[in-house]
Amino acid sequence: MDAGAAPTRRRFGGGLRRWFDRGGLGDADWEELEELLIQADLGPELSLELVDGLREAARDSGIKDPEAVRALLSERLTAELGSGERAFAAGDPPQVVLVVGVNGAGKTTSIAKLASLLQSHGYSVLLAAGDTYRAGAIDQLRIWGDRIEAPVVAHQPGSDPGAVVYDALDAAKARGVDYVIADTAGRQHTNLNLMNELAKVRRVAERQVPGAPHEVLLVLDALTGQNGLRQAQAFRDAVDVTGVIVSKLDSSAKGGVAFAVTRALGVPIKFVGTGERTEDFAVFDPQEFAAAVLASDEAAEPGS
């Protein structure tokens, strides 16, 4: 996670470091801090709220040195990301996980990474090729399945994704598989048909396994910045998203959107993707993330 947050830190942290180093805390300084937070993609509303809060706290406790604001900001950013239970829900098998998001967000890659993480904790995983829209998507999931040695249930391209999920859950129940992770077609959040189809896949899972889907994870490309918010809201409305995977944190300076998304959706970020390999994936830790974003480059990247 620390390495993954590096681009965000460089952009976010560079300006902030200069801000922490300045001589005083006048009106213009606070305004600049607000601007820095907006540039880091925290969104105008949250940025304003943070700065107002920090300003008040600094005044109340007689803080005159911007460096002393760093700890306060870190604390507030952490709180903003929530500190609830992050562990992956466990229960009677099969636990059913739907993975949703727009095309190219990183769904299929994240599924392989998540499956691999679960396997490393001793769980068995079955993958469902619910993205039947493109032939390539089914092949891609099969290749990942081979690589991580997880069975894949797939139908023909163009077939009903509900039927794929139905068969996958059937197979999982018969084999006593712990987790079923279902891929879904990349949906533009403005495409109503596809959103309805997603809701239907959800209902298929609900009918077949009690409590399913246990997780609906939205994959959000960190590169989308604030645009990701509108996508996220549309998915939440269609399928009751329970958690977010922020992908491509390694290649984006817009990790700040993590804060805005948590606030807009009211659901936690559960995992982050930090590269293209299966091991480039981590359970999201709010405190670590806030600290990594704010840390100075020298402190956070020893030897680099």
Binding site for ligand GDP (CB under 6 A): 101, 103-109, 186, 219, 247-248, 250-251, 273-276, 280
Identify residue 149 by its one-letter amino acid code.
E
Tell me the CA distances in angstroms from 134 to 82, 143, 158, one per residue in order.
Answer: 37, 15, 7
Least separation in angstroms between CB 138 and Mg ion = 9
| Span between the terminal Cα atoms of the chain, in Å | 16
Q: How far is CA 73 from the centre of its chain?
A: 22
Question: Smaller CB distance to ligand GDP: residue 34 or 215?
Answer: 215
Question: Smaller CB distance to ligand GDP: residue 69 or 217?
Answer: 217
User: Residue 297 binds what, of Mg ion, ligand GDP, none (CB under 5 to 8 Å, by partner type)?
Assistant: none
Least separation in angstroms between CB 273 and ligand GDP = 3
Q: Which residues contact 167 (CB under 8 A, 6 or more apart)?
A: 128, 153, 155
Question: Smaller CB distance to ligand GDP: residue 9 or 76?
Answer: 9
Q: What are phi and psi of 244, to 5 degrees?
A: -120, 140
Strands 125-128 and 179-182 come out as parallel
Least separation in angstroms between CB 183 and Mg ion = 6
Question: Smaller CB distance to ligand GDP: residue 86 or 134?
Answer: 134
CB 171 within 8 A of CB 153: yes
- Select from 8-16, 86-94, 134-142, 169-177 the region that touches Mg ion (CB under 5 A): 134-142
Question: Smaller CB distance to ligand GDP: residue 66 or 255?
Answer: 255
* Per-residue b or e along 66-96, where b marks 16 or more CB atoms closer than 10 Å to that residue's CB: beebbebbbebbbebbbeeeeebeeeebbbb
Helix (H) or strand (E) holding 121: none
Least separation in angstroms between CB 147 and ligand GDP = 13
The single residue among 97, 114, 137, 246 that binds Mg ion, judged by CB under 5 A, is 137
Q: Binding of Mg ion at residue 108 (CB under 5 A)?
A: yes
Least separation in angstroms between CB 249 and Mg ion = 18
Interacting residues with Mg ion (CB under 5 A): 107-108, 137
